Structure formats: C-alpha cells, structure tokens
Amino acid sequence: MPMETDTIEFLANEEGDWFFHCHILYHMMAGMNRVFAVDDYKNPYLPDKAKAYKMLQRESNMPHFMIQNDFATNGNDGELMLMNARWSLGTEWRLGYNNMHGYEVETHLGRYIGKMQWLMPFIGFDWRYRKMGKDEHEKNIFGQVNKKTTGLL
C-alpha cells in the first residue's frame, strides 16, 4: 500500500549497493525503490552515499504525466493527470460531437494525506453544457431535473 513499510528477507552474499525497485516506471518514480548496502563496501562510483540517497529520494517524488482518450460514435471521453507521491492535478472530459450530445469538463487539485494516503481532499470545478429543446431540461433516471450548466464542486 502507499507509504507502507514492508520487511523482506534475502540472502546478502554479494557485497555492494543494491537497488530494489518496482518495475512499473511511475511506481518507481513515486518512491517504490530503495538502495541496500551489503557489508561495509566502498563504492568507487558513489563517493558521497548520503548525498546520492537524498537525490534518489527527490527523484522518487518526481511528477508523472498520464493522458488517455476514447473516441466513440457520439463523442469522446478522456482524462489527463499530473501527479507525484503527494499531489494530484487532474481533469476529465466528455465531449459530444454536437450541442445535443453535450459537453462536460471536471478538474480537481488534491493532496494525499496520511501515511497510507487513504484520504485526498481536493478542490475543483465542473462545467457542463447540453442543448435541449425550448423550456426542456435533462432528467436523470430518477426523473430529477438538472438545470445546472456551470458550478463549483
């Protein structure tokens, strides 16, 4: 789990500095990596281990970018995210190919809280538009009318 500490057991029969990491790149860059020093080994390529480890930890909190988009017959849906180990900035969209299909964009900025990152308070906005007939309003499956076109979450 995020920010979790796990204990592993392995046979350390080769001295040196060993880099353990997750093989999913954005996991590794978000902090799922560690360096284990086996024995009192002096690495000629790493004269200042403390400084190098601090740099590794800074790199472990690097932002990563993700985007996806799905095209359909009535429009496209997509998502864009920029995040690191603690912050998330994201937007989602549903864009119809005409006014009757409608348009919607939702954006939010949040911060993960707690050791296990189980909570992410966020602030954001939601913008919608869908052209209906004169004096006609869209209804949901419960028969409720939605007259909203813009607003804050």
Asked whether residue 76 falls in the same domain as residue 108, the answer is yes
The two three-digit tokens of residue 152, written as one number: 């804050």
pLDDT of residue 82: 95
As for how many domains the chain has, the answer is 2
Q: What is the pTM of this model?
A: 0.58
pLDDT of residue 7: 81
16 alpha carbon, distance to own chain's centre: 34
> Distance between CA atoms of 74 and 95, rounded to whole angstroms?
9
Asked whether residue 72 falls in the same domain as residue 89, the answer is yes
Sorted by sequence, the CB contacts under 8 Å of residue 92 that are 6+ apart come out as: 77, 78, 79, 80, 105, 106, 107
Asked whether residue 37 falls in the same domain as residue 76, the answer is no
Confidence tier at 137 by pLDDT (50, 70, 90): low
85 domain-assigned: yes
79 domain-assigned: yes
Asked whether residue 84 falls in the same domain as residue 123, the answer is yes
For 10-51, the pLDDT digits (tens) are 788 888 888 888 787 767 766 777 778 787 777 777 788 788
pLDDT of 150 > 60? The answer is no
> Distance between CA atoms of 140 and 108, rounded to whole angstroms?
24
Question: Which range of residues forms the domain containing residue 46?
Answer: 16-59
As a whole number, mean pLDDT of residues 87-96 equals: 94
- State the first-to-last Cα distance of the chain, in angstroms, to the nearest integer: 28
Mean pLDDT of the chain: 81
pLDDT of residue 41: 73
7 domain-assigned: no
3 domain-assigned: no
pLDDT of residue 2: 61
Report, in angstroms and rounded to the nearest whole number, the Rg of the chain calculated over CA atoms.
24
Asked whether residue 103 falls in the same domain as residue 133, the answer is yes
pLDDT of 152 > 50? The answer is no
Asked whether residue 105 falls in the same domain as residue 138, the answer is yes
pLDDT of 78 > 90? The answer is yes
